[in-house]
Amino acid sequence: MSEVSLILPLYNADKRCLGDCIDSIKAQTFSDFECVFVNDGSPNRDCIEYAANSVRGDSRFHLAEKSNGGLASARNFGILHSGGEYVTFVDQDDILHPQRIELALRAMEATTADVCECKVVRIPFTASFLNGSYPHFATDTILESTDLLDGRDILSWYLGQKMNITVWSHFYRRQIFERRLLPESVWGSDDLAFNIVNASEVKSLAKIRHPLYFWRRNPKATTERVPLAFPTGVAEAIEYVLNHYHDHPTLGALSEPLSNYLAGAFADAMRKSLMVKRDGAERSKLVELAVRADDLLDGKLALRIAEEDKIWISRLLAGKYDSAVRNAKSAAAARVRRNLFRIAKTHLKRLFISTKSP
């Protein structure tokens, strides 16, 4: 039995990206793992055959097939068709640092943590995996800089966005999934719902500060197309999380930050949804979703989000769709300008430091 199970869902994968992903798995410095390719009912069989051919003769890789059910369903299927003591995930467009498995495993063994999370770096979609081009991290260096979080600190770090919320940035002990699988009804937000709920049930989490996962943002990815299922999934996640934490003894002072975090996640999904031209039925659905989220958050949705989003969300709640769209576009433009200014300021600061005389 392999010590680590790596779950890789497949659905209409780009061959170039998938090839890089598989190469980065095969290049792992820790070899006692199994990788489960989960064909989530992909209509494109070429990518499935490509994956199988890429690992032919390597017994660590095997294929599990199912009808289409979405990422959470595919990940759960992979969990149930694997047997490692530890479970982790990778998405088909992404790349792993060659020490990804080794260092996460060592951190969990050294700290006895239930979960391990590593730093994620966003890379261009055109980037490629080049074995040997990644920095080698000494295990002692990693362990010395690893943060060990207990109890409510785990939830606090998620809510403060000090950690990535995605499941693919995490390592888990299998016992966690014996207690609860990923929520399949929460489309596109199963990571958020699962990890925030799981934060109340694990004893400790090891946070690795070094980059071990490289996220390649595919413009054709499910959350980039912004179907109605995306904001619907966030609304489902809000209900899933709030039902779990209702009168939860460990929440305490984190009750307000939790509601604010969930409201922000919904506003982000809704803002993206408003950027897409919609027909009458879809418009009505988005208004209904906003009202539902507002009800779940005790009528305080507009009070819990960023200042630039308050106007358009209030108009959407009032059923003024066209006006909400105009204001949402203005808010999105303001957000882009602010991010560009922050990036430019950071680069100028680095340039100043690098050219400053000793």
Look at 221 and 176; give whichever has higher pLDDT.
Answer: 176
In the block, residue with structure tokens 């495993």: 105
pLDDT > 60? residue 127: yes
pLDDT > 60? residue 355: no
Residue 130: CB atoms within 10 A of its CB come to 11
Task: Give the N- to C-terminal CA distance of the chain in Å, as an integer.
Answer: 56
pLDDT of residue 110: 95
pLDDT of residue 344: 73
For the residues 149-161, what does the mean pLDDT come to? 92
Q: Whole-angstrom Cα distance, residue 75 to residue 184? A: 10
Beta bridge partners of 118: 208
pLDDT of residue 225: 57
Q: Where are the domains of the chain?
A: 4-222, 227-330
In CATH terms, the fold of domain 4-222 is: Spore Coat Polysaccharide Biosynthesis Protein SpsA; Chain A (3.90.550)
Contacts of 30 (CB under 8 A, 6+ apart): 4, 99, 101, 102, 105
pLDDT of residue 351: 62
Q: Whole-angstrom Cα distance, residue 33 to residue 86? A: 9
Residue pLDDT, tens place only, 12-33: 999 999 999 999 999 999 999 9
With H, G, I as helix, E, B as strand and everything else as coil, classify residue 235.
Answer: helix
Whole-number average pLDDT of the chain: 91
Q: Whole-angstrom Cα distance, residue 9 to residue 24? A: 16
pLDDT of residue 223: 47
High-pLDDT (> 90) share of the chain, %: 77
CA 204-206-211 angle, to 5 degrees, is 155
Let me know: does 186 contact 233? Beta carbons within 8 Å. Answer: yes
pLDDT of residue 357: 45
Tokens of 244: 């779990």
pTM across the whole model: 0.90
For the residues 244-250, what does the mean pLDDT come to? 82
